[in-house]
Amino acid sequence: MLKKIIYIAFSIAGTVAAIAGCRKPYFPAAVASPGSYLVVEGVINSGADSTIIKLSRTVPLSGTTTSTPELNAIVAVISSNNAVYPLTEAGNGKYASGPLSLDQTLQYRLTIKTATGGTYQSDFVAVRNTPPIDSVGFTIQNNGLNIYANTHDPNNATRYYRYEYDETWQFHSKYGSNYITNGKKIVPRTQAQMIRDCFGNDQSSTILLASSAKLKQDVIYQAPIAQVPSTSEKIETKYSILVKQYALSADAYNFWLNLKKNTEQLGSIFDAQPSNINGNIHCTSNPAEQVIGYISVSNVQTKRIFITNQQLPPWLPTYPYTCEEDSALYCHYIICQNDVALFLIPTGSLEIPVDSISGGFYGTTIGCVDCTIRGVTKQPAFWK
């Protein structure tokens, strides 16, 4: 998630000065800056789930990407009694370990050595126990769904929470295709070749926080998690969301809150002003180098819900493409042009046969038939 938002922060100080009314173009210094900052994402999982840490580098704002993965690094978790838990490179800047089942009486830090010899480490932090999620629910609004989470800590010891989520939804293409080309002719599709029903997925990309620090009881009630528009195809058939909950320290919460203000809540002169984003990760080989990220140690609690279209108003999803069927005949017009051979039979054609008609087929464009350009046909193991 950080890779989508961190790079914005380095241009904020300059761009705020260029608020409406400036007549001359303003190019903030950050755009041309050659600085490349290490971004560290992830949580050291103290429980029975995997630990996944993602390393990347920021890029100039004038570039075409938001970050680049940091490859070939050596990453490990170190305990306060010097036990070492190495992470294995999993590709694309990710470093992972199976369940660590950490001793909760100890403190832990993350250490990193990059391929270029840079060394980094986080501060030692204590293990935080995340209470279970009580429930995940939704409210129906005129413009869609608001999804929320409820939790509480009977020991009043957590107070600070962060959330992530994974979405999965079942959807279908505008038209179902019963035929396919083999490069020589049009033949019926087998069941394995059907491409109308698919499953899509997405992950949270904003910072989701909740706090009960100002309350007498450690209770979080209807913490906002996600919004799904009434026109989204996510809820045309069945939708599922897996909510993940992490316990935070006060320092970790303040880091994420500050990052949220700097990256999501700047757009007018009435919003919070930009400030430094200070995490708990430091470059030990070059103390002047800035590092972005905050490493916490906690278990994760999850809860999944399913929502079907029968539970919702009769909303109509907006299909992402303009679609219409057109006929392709073996003998078209007086000259008997073979449209089937021209438009539907060639491998890699931009049109797909939908159904047979007298003297040919109905066909339409790929986006209107093939759901696999936006999802997968294989049903997830958790689906019910």
Q: Enumerate residues 6+ apart whose C-beta is below 8 A from 319.
A: 174, 233, 368
Q: What digits encode the pLDDT tens for the residues 103-122?
A: 999 999 999 999 999 999 99
The fraction of the chain above a pLDDT of 70, given in percent, is 86
Sheet holding 351-357, edge to edge: 326-329, 360-365, 351-357
Q: Which pair of tokens denotes residue 186?
A: 């049009």
376/67 Cα distance (integer angstroms): 27
DSSP 204-247: --S-EEEE-TTSSS-EEEEEEEEEEETT-GGGSSEEEEEEEEEE
CB atoms within 10 A of CB 254: 14
- Parallel, antiparallel, or unpaired for β 144-152 and 219-229? antiparallel
Binned at pLDDT 50, 70 and 90, residue 11 comes out as very low
pLDDT digits (tens, 9 = 90+) for 175-204: 999 999 999 999 999 999 999 999 999 999
Torsion of CA 74, 75, 78, 83, to 10 degrees: -60
Beta bridge partners of 168: 201, 240
* 91 SS3 class: strand
On the question of pLDDT at 25 being above 90, the answer is no
What does residue 274 show for φ and ψ, rounded to 5 degrees? -65, 150
Q: Is the separation of the CB atoms in 304 and 380 below 8 Å?
A: no
Q: Are residues 144 and 317 in contact, defined by beta-carbon separation less than 8 angstroms?
A: no
- Residue 92, pLDDT above cutoff 90: yes
Burial class of residue 161 in the structure, from the number of CB atoms within 10 Å of its CB (0-12 exposed, 13-18 middle, 19+ buried): buried
pLDDT band at 12 (very low <50, low <70, confident <90, very high): very low
The span from the CA of 382 to the CA of 33, in Å, is 46
Q: Is the pLDDT assigned to residue 272 strictly greater than 70?
A: no
Alpha-carbon dihedral sign for residues 310, 314, 317, 323:
positive
| CA distance linking residue 321 with residue 374, whole number of Å | 12
Confidence tier at 162 by pLDDT (50, 70, 90): very high
Encoding tokens for residue 260? 């949220």
Average pLDDT over residues 59-82: 86
The angle, 0 to 180 degrees and rounded to 10, between the axes of the packed helices 2-16 and 250-264 is 60
235-239 mean pLDDT: 97
Average pLDDT, rounded, for the chain: 89
* Contact between 247 and 298 (Cβ < 8 Å): yes
Q: How far apart are CA 144 and CA 138, in angstroms?
A: 10
Of 77, 84, 147, nearest to 296 (Cα)? 77
Residue labelled with tokens 């409406």: 20
Contact 204, 163 (CB under 8 A): yes
